[in-house]
Structure 1
Amino acid sequence: MSSAPTVHIDPAAFHADPYPTLAAMRQNAPVCYVPEMGATLFTRRDDVFREEKRVDLFSSHQPNGLLTKVMGSNLMRKDGEAHMRERKALFPALSPRTVRDVLGPKFREIVQGHIDGLQPLGACDLVTDYAMPVSADALRLITGLTNMEAAEMDAASQAMLDAAANYQRDPEVDRLGYGYADHVLDLIKERLPQLRAAPDMSIISVLDQAGLTLDEIAGNVRVIIGGGQNEPRDAIAGTAWALLTHPDQYAMMANGTADWNAAFDEYVRLVAPIGMSPRRVARPDRACDVEFNADELIFFMFGSACRDADHFTDPNAYDLTRNTGPAIPFGAGPHFCAGAAASRALIAGHALPMLFDQLPNLRLTDDVTFAGWAFRGPLSVPVAWDI
């Protein structure tokens, strides 16, 4: 283990609300070893921003890491040439032009279809009834897995992510996660002949056209299902919650002094849907006055970095007037989220403005509970509107 000071956590309390513990870590032990996770945590924004780029020391290549074991070989767990080869192959599916010309119009159709189905009901849970199917249908389009139902996409994402963060080694969590990983592979095999007959801009198709193997395609699609379902789902429902519980901030949206991009950016700063990224120490070395040994596990805590009081005044508040520039919810180095532009287009461009525009007097009907530290979001967001 590293020479960092040891800090113990209560895993259940940390899962329910990690922010008080993370704030104490930033103040007293910004780089600390947590036995309950078997990892050394980096919690301050500047340390995360700087050290994440040192891939020669803090390597993404983790052949024995949980994410690699669950998802298979993927670009998130590669550095240098190997990473760039797959990132370049992926680029056409998620480029700004593809987002604007191909995905954007389809996103609007997807969102409108779900709102049309909800409007007559007068009430719903934004997580399960809106954000989940909108994100899943968008991801079916993006990946090319049109043979996967929305609920199945969400279940696969959650199961694989849970297994990839299963540091307590719960066997049932592993069973579900690995089972869905196998199922995704079967669905890719089913789609490949169709996409080879009629290539498109979906991820499966562009990776296949670039010459990636079936295992490489599957590993990357699984990882993208994880982040691409979890993050938009939680950010759609979570940003709606933030605006509905902060009427002064929503008033800024209504009078034009803030826009949907600001609402989205401030929410993912406040509650980073992907709260951390693991790395492997590639060699014995020193960073932040801490000695590290080869093959140790470290976590860059994005959720903590985004609430660092050295960069954000009143960091636990939702404030659309703040500069969110220093926030790093999508990472900071060469592994910056490849799907960030598509996520922003879906959420800030369509899902949120259309929701608030078309469901009059949208309002919460009960309290909202959040959970998670590696991946965090609201468990439910019950709302009603006038019909």
Structure 2
Amino acid sequence: MDTLHDQAIPDDQAELVFFRILQNPVDEDPAEHYRWLHENAPVFCTETGMVVLSRYADVDAALRDRRLGRGEESVQHLTNLPPDLLEPVMARWKRTMVFANPPLHTRMRRPIASAFTPYHVEQLRKTVRDTARRLLEGLADRPGGDFVRTVASPLGSAVVGDMLGVPERDRAELARLSPESMKVFDPLTAADDLPAAAAAEIRMADYFAELLAERRREPRDDMLTRLAAAASDGTLEEVEVVAASANLMNAGSDTAVNLMSNSMAILLSHPDQLALLREDPGRIPRAVEELARLDPPLNLNPRTALTPCTVAGVELTAGQIVIGIQGAANRDPERFTDPDRVDVTRDEGPSLSFGGGVHFCLGAHLGRLVLAELLACLVTDFSAVEPAGPARRRPGHNLRGLSHLPVNLRR
């Protein structure tokens, strides 16, 4: 049996497999790499000292471990940016809920989380259903139309845009900026691409700073107005409101779009599972969990050791990085029966697609509702949907999504 020390030594073959996952080739399914890690190196150290986890139990425990938090693992690669780009990005990063630890994280999350309770999200159901139906109607008029551009992207932007109070005329531009701006926090973004990514992040922040000022002058019944009030009474700092608004828009314009597009691609390649949903739409809640499990929008979830500690049998020093591969954890055969099989009736509990611990995805309830209502419209209001050509997966390292998904949708 391997000792704990043996499990932590650098493993050249495991590192090659891990970096293949990081490269995320657009024409490759990472499932075989997940299987290799489960069987050969579920816990290992890279040459640089990062600890990589792929088992469900280990990744879940790491996400919940308060000794692990957010450090500078997401911004170490930005040091070569010119000061006019680096300084504003870093100023917001330090006040961004996604990258903060308690107690700062707790203070920032509380006023924002109130809009994402199951009760408040449920109030959006009819609006989401109506919007999904309208967008699908438009796709039905375009044989061979692109599901990503015609349905998923405008639906994600509309839902979060409505919540925040973003004018409809501005949403397409924000949806364009969002994927570019999120590259700032991807450590594998090429150095030559970082200036454009930072400029996109700054443009989004400037936009929300201007909209925040407008809501102070003319309050409305929207989330940004409520966040403006929180900034005015000192609950939040203005930079925190701006960063939170941009992050929420990113979630709608990018992460939610990936969830919808990945799910549709799975169903198109497994028409028997789509038929099960048509036969009984009551299966949709379980289907949402299964589709999110199989191809999560975020594949990796890094943490930094805030203090010396032991994780998955490995002794860590403060500052050492731990990377949980959520996609692999979701395919762990010790957690899910026949984990590579698509089964929309599966009932084996939640996956880790929405993270865990204090950084559990704020929009998890909303993401599930949007996908559920989209699927409900698809199987009850339309007679058939079929692929109309090859899908194109978007390039990236942590984000998994599609740039093009042509379909034929029939009423």
Alignment of 1:299-314 (within 5 A): 299-314=323-338
Task: From 1, 10, 15, give the equivalent of 2:24.
Answer: 15
Q: Deviations over 1:292-339 (max 9, x none)?
A: 222122212211111111011221121112224141111121211111
Distance across 2 between alignment mates of 1:308 and 1:279:
20
| Aligned residue-pair number | 381
Cα distance change, pair 302–47 in 1 and its aligned pair in 2 (3 A): same
Distance across 2 between alignment mates of 1:138 and 1:370:
24
Cα distance change, pair 45–285 in 1 and its aligned pair in 2 (3 A): same
Q: Deviations over 1:336-355 (max 9, x none)?
A: 11111111222212x22223
Alignment of 1:334-349 (within 5 A): 334-349=358-373
Amino acid at match of 2:62: E
User: 2:10 is matched with which residue?
Assistant: 5
SS of residue in 2 equivalent to 1:88:
helix
Q: Is the 8 A contact 1:362 1:383 kept in 2?
A: yes
> In terms of mean alpha carbon deviation, does 254-263 or 244-253 score higher?
254-263
> In terms of mean alpha carbon deviation, does 61-70 or 5-14 score higher?
61-70
Task: From 17, 22, 40, give the equivalent of 1:28.
Answer: 40
Identity %: 23
SS of residue in 2 equivalent to 1:50:
helix
Please, what TM-score do these two structures have when normalized by structure 2? 0.84
> In terms of mean alpha carbon deviation, does 311-320 or 157-166 score higher?
157-166
SS of residue in 1 equivalent to 2:274:
helix
User: 1:244 is matched with which residue?
Assistant: 268
2:375 equivalent to 1:352: yes
Distance across 1 between alignment mates of 2:117 and 2:221:
10
Distance across 1 between alignment mates of 2:32 and 2:140:
39
Q: Is the 8 A contact 1:89 1:210 kept in 2?
A: yes
Amino acid at match of 1:190: E
Q: Is the 8 A contact 1:284 1:294 kept in 2?
A: yes
Please, what TM-score do these two structures have when normalized by structure 1? 0.88
2:228 equivalent to 1:208: yes
Q: Deviations over 1:98-122 (max 9, x none)?
A: 2222x33332343233234333223
2:276 equivalent to 1:271: no
Cα distance change, pair 272–4 in 1 and its aligned pair in 2 (3 A): farther
Shift of 1:41: 1.5
Cα distance change, pair 365–117 in 1 and its aligned pair in 2 (3 A): closer
Distance across 2 between alignment mates of 1:346 and 1:193:
30
Amino acid at match of 1:49: D
Distance across 1 between alignment mates of 2:131 and 2:281:
28
User: 1:175 is matched with which residue?
Assistant: 195
Q: Is the 8 A contact 1:196 1:205 kept in 2?
A: yes
Shift of 1:207: 2.4
Task: From 267, 274, 285, give the equivalent of 2:309.
Answer: 285
Distance across 1 between alignment mates of 2:389 and 2:289:
25
Alignment of 1:186-225 (within 5 A): 186-200=206-220, 202-211=222-231, 212-225=236-249
Unaligned runs of 5+ in 2: 1-6, 79-88
Q: Is the 8 A contact 1:31 1:42 kept in 2?
A: yes
User: 2:159 is matched with which residue?
Assistant: 138
CA RMSD of aligned residues (A): 2.7
Task: From 362, 385, 403, give the equivalent of 1:362.
Answer: 385
User: 1:58 is matched with which residue?
Assistant: 68
Distance across 1 between alignment mates of 2:261 and 2:34:
24
2:145 equivalent to 1:112: no
User: 2:83 is matched with which residue?
Assistant: none
Distance across 2 between alignment mates of 1:152 and 1:18:
32
> In terms of mean alpha carbon deviation, does 375-384 or 264-273 score higher?
375-384
User: 2:252 is matched with which residue?
Assistant: 228
Shift of 1:9: 2.4
Shift of 1:3: 4.2
Distance across 1 between alignment mates of 2:35 and 2:309:
26
Distance across 2 between alignment mates of 1:335 and 1:353:
29
SS of residue in 2 equivalent to 1:179:
helix
Distance across 2 between alignment mates of 1:40 and 1:203:
39
Q: Is the 8 A contact 2:263 2:291 kept in 1?
A: yes
Amino acid at match of 2:337: T
Cα distance change, pair 300–200 in 1 and its aligned pair in 2 (3 A): farther
Q: Is the 8 A contact 2:209 2:242 kept in 1?
A: no
Distance across 1 between alignment mates of 2:244 and 2:49:
26
Shift of 1:161: 2.3
Q: Is the 8 A contact 2:71 2:319 kept in 1?
A: no
Distance across 2 between alignment mates of 1:313 and 1:369:
29
SS of residue in 2 equivalent to 1:322:
coil
User: 1:96 is matched with which residue?
Assistant: 118
Distance across 2 between alignment mates of 1:263 and 1:136:
23
Q: Is the 8 A contact 1:365 1:384 kept in 2?
A: yes
User: 1:383 is matched with which residue?
Assistant: 407
Cα distance change, pair 64–376 in 1 and its aligned pair in 2 (3 A): closer
SS of residue in 1 equivalent to 2:45:
strand
Distance across 2 between alignment mates of 1:310 and 1:148:
48
